[in-house]
Amino acid sequence: MAEEDNLREKGAALELDSACSEEDEVTLVPMVQSDSEDVDDGDFESEVFSTSEVVQYMMDCIEEVNSVLQLPVTITRMLLQYFQWDEEKLMEKFYDSGDSDELFKAAGIAKPPIVEADFFLSDTTIGVCDICLLTEQMFGWQCGHRFCLGCWDQYLTTKIMEDGKGQSIPCPASACDVLLDDLTVMKLVKDSRVRLRHQHLITNSFVQCNRQLKWCPAPDCNFCIKVSLPDARPVRCQCGHNFCFGCGQSCHEPVSCSLLKKWNRRLQEDCKTATYLMAKTKECPACSVTIEKSGGCNHMVCKNVACNAEFCWVCLGPWSAHAVTSWYHCTRFKEDEVVTEKSASRLVLERYLFFCHRFMNHRQSRKLESRLYAVMRKKKDDLQRENKDVSWVEVQYLTKAVDILLACRTVLMHAYIFAFYVRDKNGQVAIFEENQRDLEAATECLSEYLERDITQENLADLKQKVQDKSRYCETRRTVLLQHVREGVEKDWWEFAE
């Protein structure tokens, strides 16, 4: 049942032949889906297949192998299934074994009959069924076991609908592992819905076994992604959803799938005993008034009229020290500032908390800033209502800016995971930290611009600032990711266990 729960329902039927053509880890770091995903994530070469194109691709693979093996189509499909759709491995075993009978036996496939499956159905006789013990019309499979047509139908329906077995269904006889071919299953099953489910399971199994294919994980999406080289790379589906081809989660560059999984596991374990990490309130460093963060920008202004202190939400330092010209000081953990008398375990904990806090801060900022889409829609409507000369096209830069802002937040979130695990062995980490610091400063600035009120008086000036900062953020995001990718190719990075 668990296997069936994991299967994806896709909307195209597998057309085995003309006779059948009548009758388809939860991430611990929740990501907020943006309204628009037009930001260039450096997608790698990939193709998007509809479910019917997946079926055609599967049939092309079968025909390519069958042009050499010259076997019934469904027998070839079952052999490919046995070898996890590795065509080269199948061909090698088929010809190197010297005994095709042994290969068929190992795969649980009866030796291909000389006659077609229709012969077996027409050769039915009346007899006593070993399952229901009634005298009924019988059908016998190539292994020699015979059962009534009603029991065959009920058995196959249970296997397909309840057990999720479509690609490899054995004979119902006890201790018999001989598999039924697809055409026989289609002819024995009466319900068209069961036949369609059977076709879905075969198609889904093909995708699951093929390292170059992956269903888009977006809800209600029936597209499949095909890549030239299976790797943990960001890909984009035709539905607009971006995801990592390696793990199927939302894009998480620059951190690898394995490190992200490791981080998530630690985060889950630590959050059970450290719920304070998720706290959304802090005290003003000047007057100690409790402040709640309601927006994504980290530039805080104390609302205490007797204070009005401006400070950074992340480190609680004066905001004036975070000016772009002085660089952003919250990205790098400084071990020399930690009291040397502290134990090694305490140092490890403080280092983890440093990166964890910043990771969660960007995650929370991203969640809050995702609401900017609705805010921007209202701002655009207000501007067009107040000024008839402002066209719809002229205010689209606001939505694009939010796209870029969220993309930068996503990269910064995962950049802190990368920074936590990476070890400097050649000076490249310093370059990474500088890129991270620059991107973070620009992102905070863009966030602040987008949270400002837009009026007729500041419209032109704010538009210029938002567009300029958006372009700069996108450039710096690309620079950071390309530097990490280059490091992967050139083996610059070394990570802690």
- Residues recognised as catalytic: 297
User: Six-digit token pair at 34?
Assistant: 């943006």
Q: How far is CA 193 from CA 22, 33, 188, in A?
A: 11, 34, 13
Q: How far apart are CA 256 and CA 243, in angstroms?
A: 13
- 416: nearest Cα among 353, 366, 479: 353
User: Six-digit token pair at 150?
Assistant: 């009603």
Q: How far apart are CA 229 and CA 213, in angstroms?
A: 10
3-state secondary structure 466-484: HHHHHHHHHHHHHHHHHHH
Q: Which amino acid is at 214?
A: K
The helix (run of H) or strand (run of E) holding residue 369 is: helix 344-369
Q: How far apart are CA 342 and CA 344, in angstroms?
A: 7
- Are 263 and 417 in contact by the 8 Å Cβ rule? The answer is yes
- Are 232 and 261 in contact by the 8 Å Cβ rule? The answer is no
Asked, as a colleague might, if the bond just before 254 is cis with ω within 30 of 0, I would say yes
User: Six-digit token pair at 272?
Assistant: 């059970």
User: Six-digit token pair at 104?
Assistant: 């068929």
As a whole number of Å, the CA-based R_g of the chain is: 30
Which residue shows structure tokens 């489910």?
197
Q: How far apart are CA 375 and CA 294, in angstroms?
A: 14
Give 273's contacts (C-beta < 8 A, 6+ positions apart): none
Which residue shows structure tokens 């909307």?
11
Which residue shows structure tokens 């479910």?
51
Q: Can you say how many angstroms the Cα of residue 466 is from the centroid of all Cα atoms in its chain?
A: 31
- Are 472 and 442 in contact by the 8 Å Cβ rule? The answer is yes
User: Six-digit token pair at 264?
Assistant: 């998530």
